[in-house]
Amino acid sequence: MKVAVVGATGLVGSKVLQVLAERNFPVTEIIPVASERSVGKEIDFKGKKYKVVGMEEGIAAKPALAIFSAGGGTSLEWAPKFAEAGITVIDNSSSWRMDPTKKLVVPEINADVLTREDKIIANPNCSTIQMVVALNPLHKKYKITRIVVSTYQSVTGTGKKAVDQLRAEREKEVKGVHGEYTMAYTYPIDLNAIPQIDVFLENGYTREEMKMVNETKKIMRDDSIRLTATTVRIPVMGGHSESVNVEFENEYDIDHVKELLRNAPGVVLVDDPATQKYPMPMHAHEKDEVFAGRLRRDETQPKTLNMWVVSDNLRKGAATNTVQIAEYLLAKNLLENPINFEANSSIGTRG
pLDDT at 172: 85
Are 50 and 43 contacting, i.e. CB atoms less than 8 angstroms apart? yes
What CA–CA distance (Å, rounded) separates 263 from 278? Answer: 18
Partners of 149 in beta bridges: 229, 244
- The answer for residues whose C-beta is within 8 angstroms of residue 162's C-beta and 6 or more apart is 155, 156, 184, 185, 189
Fold of 128-313: Dihydrodipicolinate Reductase; domain 2 (3.30.360)
Are 106 and 75 contacting, i.e. CB atoms less than 8 angstroms apart? no
Taking the alpha carbons of 340, 345, 349, 351 in that order, is the dihedral positive or negative? positive
Are 88 and 64 contacting, i.e. CB atoms less than 8 angstroms apart? yes
The tally of CA atoms less than 13 A away on the side-chain side of residue 17 is: 25
pLDDT at 174: 72
For the chain, list the strands marked E by DSSP. 2-6, 29-33, 42-45, 48-51, 65-68, 88-91, 103-104, 120-122, 144-153, 226-233, 240-248, 267-269, 290-297, 304-311
What CA–CA distance (Å, rounded) separates 3 from 60? Answer: 12
The tally of CA atoms less than 13 A away on the side-chain side of residue 255 is: 0
Q: Which of 126, 178, 256, 285 is an active site residue? A: 126
What CA–CA distance (Å, rounded) separates 103 from 11? Answer: 24
pLDDT at 177: 63
pTM of the model: 0.93
Q: Which of 139, 178, 240, 256 is an active site residue? A: 240
Q: Where does 2-95+316-331 sit in CATH, by number? A: 3.40.50.720
pLDDT at 339: 53
What CA–CA distance (Å, rounded) separates 317 from 285? Answer: 12
Annotation marks residue 139 as catalytic: no
Task: Give the C-alpha distances (Å, rounded to integers) separating 290 from 156, 280, 293, 305.
Answer: 17, 11, 10, 18
Q: How many CB atoms lie within 10 A of CB 44?
A: 12
Report which of 2, 207, 184, 192 is spatially closest to residue 86, judged by C-alpha positions. Answer: 2
Look at residue 142 and give its three-state secondary structure: helix
Domain assignments of the chain as residue spans, ordered by start: 2-95+316-331, 128-313
Mean pLDDT by 10 residues, the chain (351 residues): 95 96 96 93 95 97 96 96 97 97 98 98 98 98 98 96 94 72 94 98 98 98 98 96 98 98 98 98 97 98 98 98 98 77 40 34
Annotation marks residue 240 as catalytic: yes
Instruction: For 10-71, give the DSSP string.
Output: SHHHHHHHHHHHHTT---SEEEEE--GGGTT-EEEETTEEEE-B-HHHHHHT--SEEEE-S-
The tally of CA atoms less than 13 A away on the side-chain side of residue 244 is: 29
For the chain, the farthest-separated pair of C-alpha atoms sits apart, in whole angstroms, at: 60
Residue 228 class from Cβ within 10 Å (0-12 exposed, 13-18 middle, 19+ buried)?
middle
pLDDT at 348: 36
pLDDT at 237: 93
pLDDT at 350: 30
